[in-house]
């Protein structure tokens, strides 16, 4: 089982809707979780980090962490066409600082 | 200027050639990483270094080697390139987070490598 699992999509949502991206992980000891956005051919850029159970909000983005169920999610409110990208879920690895990445979920926001 | 730079940005080479990809950073971070990305496979860790004297293998280190020449420089070498090493390669850096929060990794722009 891969350490971080994501549905590859594509997830298609209309402009203005809420996009919900999900991620599960296998190592109960993981402490830190990250969501990166990656446009085609570009480098990943950090959107959110979260390491406590519950919700963390930053503008239109909300990260949710549930360590008991071993899942992390990212909600994007008022989705815009410019949000169309691949979203990568990541967690700290056993080494502590290196990251394990999921394969990414492709999001398409249609006008 | 970009905080994390990679050279070259694109490279086409032939099977059996030795290739070096270079990464430099001005963020003052101690930790540096090399990842490769293949379509549909996400990012896979090749090697990482927590300081100049510390080098560690990642998930897919076979066929690769690295050199940490200085705190700011971390190079990835393919000793004898093969076609299945064709991929997008990213360098990343991270440093301590003030307040004890999780590290954030900052990625370079990537090197697109094609091995014929």
Of A43, A98, A102, which has the smallest distance from its Cβ to B108's Cβ? A43
Shortest Cα–Cα distance, A77 to chain B (Å): 24
Average predicted confidence (pLDDT) for chain A:
92
Distance of CA B76 to the CA centre of its chain: 6
In terms of phi and psi (left: phi > 0; alpha: psi -120 to 50; beta: otherwise), the region of A80 is beta
Q: How far is B17 from chain A (nearest CA, A)?
A: 25
SS3 B2: coil
Q: What local confidence, expressed as pLDDT, does residue B97 receive?
A: 57
Condensed to tens digits (0 to 9), the pLDDT of residues B32-85 reads 999 999 987 889 999 999 888 999 999 899 999 999 999 999 999 999 999 999
The residue of B102, B107, B113 whose CB has the most chain A CBs within 10 angstroms, and thus the best one to mutate to test that interface, is B102
User: Is the preceding omega at residue A103 within 30 degrees of 0, hence cis?
Assistant: no
Residues of A in contact with B90 (CB under 8 A): 43-44
Is B30 in contact with B53 (CB distance < 8 Å)?
Answer: no
Task: With a cut of 70, say whether residue B94 has pLDDT above it.
Answer: yes
Q: Residue A10, preceding bond cis, omega within 30 degrees?
A: yes
Euclidean distance between CA atoms B59 and B37, whole angstroms: 12
Cβ contacts of A104 on chain B, cutoff 8 Å: 42
A91 to chain B, closest Cα gap in Å: 10
Per the CB < 8 Å rule, is A103 touching B33?
no
Name the closest residue on chain A to residue B10, using Cα atoms: A41
Find the largest Cα–Cα distance for chain B: 48
Q: A35 to chain B: nearest residue by CA?
A: B104
Selected residue with higher pLDDT from B94 and B2 = B94
Whole-number pLDDT of residue A1: 62
Determine the residue of chain A that is closest to B101 in CA distance. Answer: A51
Return phi, psi of residue B11, to 5°. Answer: -150, 130
What pLDDT, on a 0 to 100 scale, did the predictor assign at position B112?
96
pLDDT value of residue B56: 92
User: Is 80 exceeded by the pLDDT of residue A99?
Assistant: yes
B55: distance to nearest CA of chain A, Å?
12
On the 0-12 / 13-18 / 19+ scale of CB atoms within 10 A, B67 is middle
Which sign, positive or negative, has the C-alpha torsion A95, B107, B45, B54? negative
Given a cut of 50, is residue B101 above it in pLDDT?
no
pLDDT at B99 over 80: no
SS (H, E, C) chain A: CCCEECCCCCEEEECCCCEEEEEEECCCCCCCEEEEEECCCCCCEEEEEECCCEEEEECCEEEEEECCCCEEEEEECCCCHHHCEEEEEEEECCCCCCEEECCCEEEEEEC
Share of chain A above pLDDT 90, in %: 77
What pLDDT, on the 0 to 100 scale, is given for residue A2? Answer: 74
User: Cα angle vertex A83, ends A77, A87, to 5°?
Assistant: 95
Are B101 and A42 within 8 A, CB to CB?
Answer: no
- What confidence score (pLDDT) does residue A77 get? 97
Judged against a pLDDT cut of 60, whether residue B102 lies above it is answered with no
* Integer Cα distance of A20 and A79 in angstroms: 10
Q: Which residue of A has its CA nearest to B91?
A: A43
Model pLDDT for residues A31-71, shown as the tens digit of each residue: 889 999 999 989 999 999 998 899 999 999 999 999 999 99
């Amino acid at each position: 089982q891969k350490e971080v699992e994501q549905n590859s999509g594509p997830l298609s949502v209309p402009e203005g809707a809420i996009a919900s991206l999900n991620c599960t992980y296998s190592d109960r000891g993981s402490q830190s979780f990250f969501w990166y956005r990656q446009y085609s051919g570009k480098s990943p850029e950090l959107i959110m980090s979260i390491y406590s159970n519950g919700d963390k909000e930053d503008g239109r983005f909300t990260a949710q962490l549930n360590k008991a169920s071993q899942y992390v999610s990212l909600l994007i409110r008022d989705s815009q066409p410019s949000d169309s990208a691949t979203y990568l879920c990541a967690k700290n690895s056993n080494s502590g600082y290196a990251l394990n990445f999921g394969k990414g979920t492709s999001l398409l926001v249609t006008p | 200027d970009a905080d994390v730079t990679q050279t070259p940005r694109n490279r086409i080479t032939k099977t059996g050639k030795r290739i070096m990809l270079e990464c430099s950073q001005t963020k003052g971070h101690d930790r540096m990483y090399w990842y490769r990305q293949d379509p549909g496979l996400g990012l896979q860790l090749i090697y990482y270094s927590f300081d100049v004297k510390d080098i560690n293998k990642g998930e897919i280190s076979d066929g690769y080697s690295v050199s940490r020449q200085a705190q700011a420089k971390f190079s990835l070498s393919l000793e004898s390139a093969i076609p299945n090493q064709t991929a997008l390669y990213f360098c990343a850096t991270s440093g301590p987070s003030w307040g004890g929060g999780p590290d954030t990794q900052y990625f370079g722009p990537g090197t697109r490598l094609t091995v014929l």
